[in-house]
């Protein structure tokens, strides 16, 4: 089965800057020569993400950058194996949408993309438990289109203090992420007072009545339903 992937000009620009080299493996009398991309300095310097930010013009005059641009650069780096595969197989440098085999570079890409989505949650978890390798591996092994499915896999694990805290952190991260990408109208679907709410200021002869969410979203959103919808890909 094929998937669609957009080859962007940014991918092409970055690939043209890749630092290629040769490596040799010597075992006894056997010599094997292999082409490779410089693992430590793929774009010339050891600070890979910063290299990408600068090459794409995503830093200011002082070299500073926003968190959004950092994440954009990281995603572009994660996508580069697919982009390079498209360029080589199609013999083209034209941006556009291309068909790719879902079991090619795209397969491992999904694991990296899921790890990237959850990395801030893992960092927060690391404040309590320094060993986060299990969570990193779990995200990497979940090669699902829906990054929220990692949470479902997490819930299947045997519960102990470590896993209970991980689930708590991941669930809250998923909720916060959804809230950051939506507005008040979308909140209504998960509001406990949705059926009774006037969905705006209401006055019935006395003092105006505000919707429950005006006091904040704490204890208003039905987060259990929201989380299930996120995992099942059914949220707004």
Partners of 22 in the beta sheet?
35
CB burial class (10 A; 0-12, 13-18, 19+) of residue 71? middle
| 99: enclosing H helix or E strand | strand 96-101
pLDDT level of residue 103 (50, 70, 90 thresholds): confident
What are φ and ψ of residue 6, in 5° steps? -90, 115
Residue-level pLDDT at 187:
82
**Which of 117-121, 164-168, 179-183, 214-218 is least confident?**
214-218
CA–chain centroid gap for 186, Å, is 22
Residue 115, pLDDT above cutoff 60: yes
In 1-90, beta strands by DSSP E: 2-7, 20-27, 30-37
Q: What is the pLDDT of residues 202-211, one digit of tens each?
A: 555 555 555 5
Q: Is 34 helix (H, G, I), strand (E, B) or coil?
A: strand
One DSSP character per residue, 108-148 reads HHHHHHHHHHHHHHHHHHTTT-S--HHHHHHHHH---S-TT
Residue-level pLDDT at 36:
92
Q: What is the pLDDT of residues 118-156, one digit of tens each?
A: 999 999 999 999 999 999 999 999 989 999 999 999 999
How far, CA to CA in Å, does 85 sit from each of 91, 155, 167?
10, 35, 36
Residue 199, pLDDT above cutoff 70: no
Q: What is the pLDDT of residues 10-36, one digit of tens each?
A: 999 999 999 999 999 999 989 999 999
- What b/e readout covers 101-137, taking b as 16+ CB neighbours within 10 angstroms? eeebbbeebbbbbbbbbbbebbeebeeeeeebeebee
């Amino acid at each position: 089965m094929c998937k669609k992937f957009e080859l962007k000009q940014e991918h092409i620009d970055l690939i043209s800057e890749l630092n290629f080299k040769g490596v040799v493996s010597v075992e006894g009398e056997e010599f094997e020569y292999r082409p490779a991309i410089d693992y430590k300095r793929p774009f010339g310097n050891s600070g890979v993400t910063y290299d990408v930010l600068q090459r794409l013009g995503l830093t200011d005059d002082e070299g500073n950058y926003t968190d959004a641009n950092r994440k954009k650069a990281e995603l572009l780096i994660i996508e580069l194996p697919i982009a390079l595969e498209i360029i080589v197989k199609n013999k083209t440098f034209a941006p556009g949408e291309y068909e790719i085999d879902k079991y090619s570079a795209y397969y491992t890409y999904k694991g990296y993309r899921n790890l990237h989505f959850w990395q801030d949650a893992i960092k927060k978890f690391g404040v309590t438990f320094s060993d986060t390798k299990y969570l990193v591996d779990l995200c990497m092994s979940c090669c699902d289109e829906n990054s929220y499915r990692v949470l479902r896999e997490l819930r299947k694990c045997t519960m102990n203090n470590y896993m209970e805290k991980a689930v708590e952190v991941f669930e809250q991260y998923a909720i916060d992420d959804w809230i950051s990408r939506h507005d008040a109208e979308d909140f209504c679907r998960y509001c406990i007072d949705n059926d009774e709410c006037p969905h705006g200021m209401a006055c019935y002869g006395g003092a105006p009545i505000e919707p429950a969410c005006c006091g904040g979203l704490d204890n208003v959103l039905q987060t259990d339903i929201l989380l299930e919808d996120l995992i099942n890909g059914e949220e707004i």
